[in-house]
Amino acid sequence: MNNQLAYFDNNVEIYWHGIVMALGIALGTAMAGWLIGRVRRGGQSLASLVLVIAFFPSLILSRGMYLFFSDAGGGLFDFVGGGYALYGGIAGVILAALVAALILRDISMSTLLDCLAPGGMLAIAFGRFAAGFSGEELGQQVDVAAFQRAPFATRSIVDGNWYLSVYFFEGVVALAITVVLTAFFFSAYKYGRARRKKGTVATLGAILYTASQSLLESMRTDLLFLKPFNLGFVKTSQLISAIILIVIAIILCVRAWKRIDSKLAQIFGWAVIAGGLTVAFIMEFKLVSGVMVKNYTIMGLCLAAVAAAIITLLMKTSKLSGGGDDDDYFDDDDYGPSDDEPFQYESSSGGGYFGNYL
């Protein structure tokens, strides 16, 4: 696929990859502002503020993570010719949400993350599709003639062979998660009143994204590996996804044990989570030619079962029952209104630093 868009003065090059990514960021920011506007005045201004705060931290963290786990050369500030790691960028956005919440003090970090999650997934989807222009995020060679066509496979301009278009599947999944999170957001923040604990939408997004990435990242052949730790066969993004998924599962299991009476059902859920992750881990190391489709199918079904079990725990532990100190997954209620009360639009004055502008 042709990546070149135009040249300027034979020095500055513009690529479709960058155009599509910039469009995704713009649309994601606009969507975040729209959702923030459902719980607070000045939604677009706050979304733009988060983007500005996140810009350089996201670049540095994603670039630094890429350099740490790869053998590629270049410096930390080589933003034009270097590679990036997506989880570093996500960390930068989360940091920006924290800073914005601390500055403004009229919206909690958890609520802000809930508003940012759907737009963030939309931006990620565009970023995945953009990889089709640069020839990145491809998988194994496709030998079946029926699948040697777009969008299932991409033909390499280097050797002429067809390779699995992992970027396409990742983009489609990210779009699907965007739709799910948007619909759930309007359910969680219905009629100006929070129906779920703050942070539930963002947590749901993390579960869906990390579960899907644990499978899809396994299909790629251009990933970063844990070479600094002499574990060059372990894919970095896949491992991070699995760790996040496990941490969320542990937190929700602890919460569920305290709040849900049916201990037998909880033990069954734990068994599904532990068993599904174990089988998926085994399948990852049994991905050999001839049985790859079978193993990916088993791996996908196991991760789907794990995600379903964790989401069930999330839904059961996130319902509000009158508010209180436990109404926030991230325990930052000092920075926002209580979830058991209707949202009240704040006056532009007295809203913290930059309050007069938002």
pLDDT of residue 345: 44
Residues 291, 215, 292: CA angle, nearest 5 degrees = 10
Q: How far apart are CA 35 and CA 188, in angstroms?
A: 12
Q: How far apart are CA 5 and CA 41, in angstroms?
A: 39
- Residue ranges of the chain with pLDDT lower than 70? 1-12, 72-73, 79-82, 191-192, 223-234, 261, 287-291, 321-358
- Whether 172 and 151 have beta carbons less than 8 Å apart is answered as no
Of 225, 213, 236, 241, which is closest to residue 300 (Cα–Cα)?
213
DSSP H or E stretch at residue 328: none
Show contacts of 348-355: CB within 8 Å, 24+ apart.
348/41, 348/42, 351/104, 351/105, 351/106, 352/103, 352/104, 352/105, 352/106, 353/103, 353/104, 354/49, 354/103, 354/104, 355/104, 355/106
| Cis status, amide bond into 151, omega within 30 of 0 | yes
145, with CB counted inside 10 A (0-12, 13-18, 19+), is: exposed
Quick check: helix, strand or coil at residue 226?
Answer: strand
- Whether 138 and 163 have beta carbons less than 8 Å apart is answered as yes
- Whether 34 and 42 have beta carbons less than 8 Å apart is answered as no
Task: Give one DSSP letter per residue of 146-172, joined into a string.
Answer: GG-STTTEEE-TTT--EEE-HHHHHHH
Q: How far apart are CA 80 and CA 62, in angstroms?
A: 13
Quick check: helix, strand or coil at residue 140?
Answer: coil
Q: How far apart are CA 49 and CA 212, in angstroms?
A: 30
Q: Which 8-state DSSP code applies to residue 31?
A: H
pLDDT of residue 18: 84
Q: How far apart are CA 40 and CA 60, in angstroms?
A: 30
Query: How many residues are given for the chain?
Result: 358
Residues 219, 238, 265, 176: what is their CA dihedral angle, to the nearest 10 degrees?
-60
Sign of CA dihedral 296, 302, 303, 308: positive
Which parts of the chain fold into alpha helices (H)? 16-36, 43-69, 86-104, 109-134, 166-188, 200-219, 236-259, 263-284, 292-317
Domains in the chain: boundaries: 1-195, 224-325
Quick check: helix, strand or coil at residue 5?
Answer: strand
Quick check: helix, strand or coil at residue 284?
Answer: helix
pLDDT of residue 54: 92
